[in-house]
Structure formats: C-alpha cells, structure tokens
Structure 1
Amino acid sequence: MIGVLLVDDEALTLDLHRQYVQRLEGFRVVAECSGARSALSALLERPTAGDIELVLLDMTMPDGSGLDVLRHVRARARNVDVIAITSVRDADVVRQAVALGAVQYLVKPFTFADFRERMSQYARFRERADETTGAATQAEIDAMLGALRPVAAPAPKGLTPETLERVSIRLRDAGALSAREAAEALGMSRVAARRYLEHLADAGRAERAQRYGAPGRPEAEYRWRG
C-alpha cells in the first residue's frame, strides 16, 4: 500500500480527494493537511512522516505555496513523490514543479476517471522502479519514465477523437462494457460502439474477452487497461 498525504486548503476538496483515494486499490491516506506549514510538519517532523510515499499537493495555500513545500522538502533531502493537484495553469509554475520533482501535474477541476488514470500511471511507475535494481538499462529507464505518460490512441479514419474520448471515459468509469451497453449508455449504434471499443483494444487501452452466462450467443466484453 502506497501511503498518501493530502494537502489542500479547502475542506471539501480534501474530503473529495480522500474519497477518490479510498476508491483505488494499492493506496491509503496516511495524513491530511490544510496548509503549507502543516504539510512540512507532516513530511519532516511527525511520526507518520516515514509512512508517506506520495503527496497530492495543492499549489496555492494561505500560508505558502506548493512550490515552497517542495523546495523545503528537497532541501532536507526528503525522498517522497509528488503529484501537483491545482487550478494553477501558469507554465512557469508547471516548469518549477517538475524541476522540483513533481511526477504529475493535474489541473482542477477533474473527474474521478482523470484522477484514477494519473494514479494508475504513478502506480505503474512505482512497480517498474521497484523491479529495477542496480544499474538500469536504457530500456528499463524508458519503461519507468514511460509509465508516467498516457498511451496515445489516435482515432483512425472514420472515428472522431471526440467520440473516442467519450467511449474511453465511459469504459474507464464502468470498468467493463459490451458494445451493446456502450451503445445504450452513449446513444449510438452498436456497430459504431464496437468499432471504438475494438480500436481501444487494438491500441492496448482495453482488453477484450468473451462474456458468458446470458442466454443466447456470448458477447464480447471490453475491460479498461489504461
């Protein structure tokens, strides 16, 4: 289980992020902070500091910025991963956050599907890093860094990027869908839904399998892989 520290100055946002983390496998909330100073205390002084492996860090707080937190943590050589979660879109802030070691930058507002995708990417990165020991090969390094990036699935001829995104989001939220279920949920034909689902499977974003148990012919089921 990856220990998570939540940092945000809005109580409702903290509550939402806690619920999001609790819906994920492999993560647990260790502590919550509503400001920069309390975040530094949690990371550097409290007994729970050693349990924190990932920080979901807001960039704007009344008593300091997320960048301030990152600078102090790095100055103390604290080895912890950070995902910036913020409404700040300033390119210079993004650059500084990355330079200080943020592995992801997620802009508010976002859906649970967006959150789950970034956390899944981070979990894959951790898995790759844990599997690699000693001197890493270039391929191993590429695999570690590549795990933090989404796999592009451009729409081929006849498929629109907008509809592909809708189908992707629906499949991510549902976890598993047949073409019939996707068509009913999105108001499109079963043939069109199957084309988009097949494309996601061919691109490695989904897995296809046969669903049994219902009367009649078995139907293909698609499961989101991310």
Structure 2
Amino acid sequence: MLIWLNGPFGGGKTQTAYELRRRLPGSVVCDPEHLGFGLHRMMPPELRGDFQDLPAWRRGVHDVLDLVLRKHPGTVIVPMTVVEPEYFAETVGRLREQGHDVRHFALLAERGTVLRRLRERGFGRVVRYVAGKDAPLRRESFAVSRLDLCLERLSGAEFAEHVRTDHLSVPQVADRVAASAGLRLAPGADGPLRGRLRRAAVGVRHIRFD
C-alpha cells in the first residue's frame, strides 16, 4: 500500500509521514522532493522553477514509487503537495492504473491555521526574526504564495480523502489516516515533551535551503 499525504505547505504532511513510519513497522518514507531538488542541482539557477513542471520529475516519481511498491514489502508513505490535476494523474493516477493500492489523503486546515504553523516552525527563510520576534511571513515566499491555490484545489472531490487537521495533533492525524486505510499502528508512547522534541527534530532535518 502507498499512503500519499497531500496538503498545503505547513499542513503537517512530513510530520504525519514520520509519525506513521515510527508507529508502522516495516514502513518507509519516500520523499519526492529529493528528486526535485536533485534535478534543480543539475540546472543553473536561472533555469530553476517549480520542479513539478519538469516531465522528468513526474516520470521519475512514478518510476521510483512503482519500483519501491513492487520490491518493498511494507507500506510506502509519500508526503508531497501536488495540486495540478494533470500532474496528479501522471503520478497518483498512473500508479493506481497499474494496480497499486494508493490511498490519498489531503491534510487541510484553515488559512490562518496554516500560517500560524509556518510561523511556529520557522519555515526555512519564510520567517524572519527581528528583535527576537517573528516578522510577518514574506508574501513572495513560495509556500505562502501557493497557499490559497493549494487550499482551493485540494478541497475538490478529485483530491479526496480530506482530513481536517485544525484541531488535531500530529499523532491524531496519523491515527485518522491509518484507520481510514485499514492499518494498525503501534501505540504512541511519547509524552508531551518527548513528542515535541521528536517533531522539532523532524522539522530541522527537513529545512530546505535550495
């Protein structure tokens, strides 16, 4: 089975993916961003745009996930924002057409909730620190500039199943996803402090500077 976690930047995809991996023995996280940033590193800066617009990225994501699903015995977890219907069809759609069991979840929240989460986690260079306080999110940042489009597109029926996360913790979101997919998670043994530390570590490991 493949669990595809979609949603806006700041929607909790990566945190939920690693919570699922921690509590689902034999599972693995496959992050398509690695392929995207690898393609960017092959290109001069002036040619780098949204790597999802590159056919090579879409083909590569499909081919790698197809291979992993055929060879890896455990659940495959993919945290990736995809809002273009054509690109969704070339990745999720093609995998389903080939007979793979793909469960897609769009993690959604109110706009204000997502912006607050971005501020709280210090989203790379999106949040600037002035006099020890968070500055407003820069409008030109990729994450914020795409937020309204992401929320609008992902609310459509073609991007179901929808999971509203405004009032859910990361473990609770993972529980919802697993229950819907028919997966049985190990109990979450983290206390509040340990859970926050674990999620902070995941966030630090996934800060992008490309």
Whether TM-score is above 0.5 comes out as no
The structure whose RCO (Cα within 8 Å, separation 6+) is larger is 2
TM-score range, shorter chain: 0.3 to 0.5
Quick check: which has more Rg, 1 or 2? Answer: 1
> Normalising to structure 2: TM-score of the pair?
0.38
